[in-house]
Amino acid sequence: MANWLKKLMRSQLVIPLFALLLLIIFNLIRDVGFFSLNITTNNDGNTVLSGNIISILNSASELAVLSIGMTLVTASSKGQDISVGAVAAIAGSVFVRVLKEHTINWPIILLGFICACLAAILCGAFNGTLVSVFKIQPMIATLILLTAGRPIAYWINGGATPTVESPLLSKIGSFIPGIPIPTPIIIVVVFAILVSLVLRFTNLGLYTQAVGINEKSARLNGINAIGMKMLSFMMLGICVAIAGCIGVSRMGLINHETLLLDIEMDAILAVAIGGNALSGGKFSIAGSVIGAYIIQALTITLYAMKVPSTAVKAYKAIVIIAIVVLGSPVVQSYLLKLRGRLFQKSNKEAGAQAYGD
């Protein structure tokens, strides 16, 4: 038991799991039925699952996908990409532009998604070049697309906010007939599994951590640091394209001004809450995904408590500050020392008792 607890305390998942547990306990005390699942019929006549759990998982889909890419960028470049919302608007605009120029069917939707990915990867390569080749701080480098991204998205569709009405597209943004779980949740699960398999069966995760921990040592060991940073930004581009296309599919239109607005801040927070050091190095994809769901669960909880929407961000900030402080190296070091003292004391007491017997 002591060894299991020691491993848990050293795990990067201890902070996000503890925060998630606190949220669950708080909501169960406040409202026992908060996490209840209901089976209902939607407007299309399909039997679907509903409730706060489904709402949290569904609403956080874009954030969960972005947190995966943001984790890789943070681990390799020791910084964050603050342009993901704006680049998502670009990817979404490209997606809509392709759909508007053709009869919408599954091959055209796939073509639009591929084009959106290419556009987002190109933006990621631009950011990655500034960071890896020109050694510009990630937040400064990505500030360019943060500023210019939404105007570019506006230009792609000729200054309009076109709608794309299609039953096929609505299935991506809501439900597939016969499947009671929202499609965005399924997309997140499939994508997370794919990324996990890539990290498990390739050296991508190891090389990313090595570059983030010590770039010079990584180069001396034959790792292409520039290439790894570029790759992490390009993988973030794929995540951005997925999130942008999900957002467009939900609304059935592209609004370059509001699509995933300010989501970059939540993505950075998800990485921090997930137990990842914002200074790079060792990372946990699972922790970041849990962090994304914690942020959304906190939002849903505040709305359930009738907190005004204008005050939600302030309340979230207070809770997030507490979580980040608990996960800081200073506090974690203190907790480890405290744990060591407690275990040492308990071991001495056990030894004394055994000797007395």
Give the pLDDT confidence score for residue 18 in this predicted structure.
Answer: 83
What's the Cα-to-Cα distance from 259 to each of 13, 25, 58, 91, 140, rounded to whole Å? 30, 33, 16, 11, 22
Give the pLDDT confidence score for residue 233 in this predicted structure.
Answer: 97
Q: Which residue has the higher pLDDT, 289 or 332?
A: 289
Instruction: Give the integer Cα–Cα distance in Å for 286 and 12.
Output: 9
pLDDT tens per residue, range 278-298: 888 889 999 999 999 999 998
Is residue 331's pLDDT more than 60? yes
The pLDDT of 330-349, averaged and rounded, is 70
**pLDDT band (50, 70, 90) for residue 340:** confident
**pLDDT band (50, 70, 90) for residue 338:** confident
% pLDDT > 70, the chain: 91
Give the pLDDT confidence score for residue 275 in this predicted structure.
Answer: 83
Average the pLDDT over each of 32-41, 168-177, 206-215, 345-354 and give the range with the smallest value. 345-354
Q: Which residue has the higher pLDDT, 318 or 242?
A: 242
Q: Which residue has the higher pLDDT, 304 or 62?
A: 62
What's the gap between Cα 323 and its chain centre? 17
pLDDT tens per residue, range 76-124: 999 999 999 999 999 999 999 999 998 999 999 999 999 999 999 999 9
Is residue 167's pLDDT more than 70? yes
pTM here is 0.90
173 and 252 in contact (C-beta within 8 Å)? yes
**pLDDT band (50, 70, 90) for residue 6:** low
Is residue 169's pLDDT more than 80? yes
What is the pLDDT of the chain when averaged over all its residues?
88
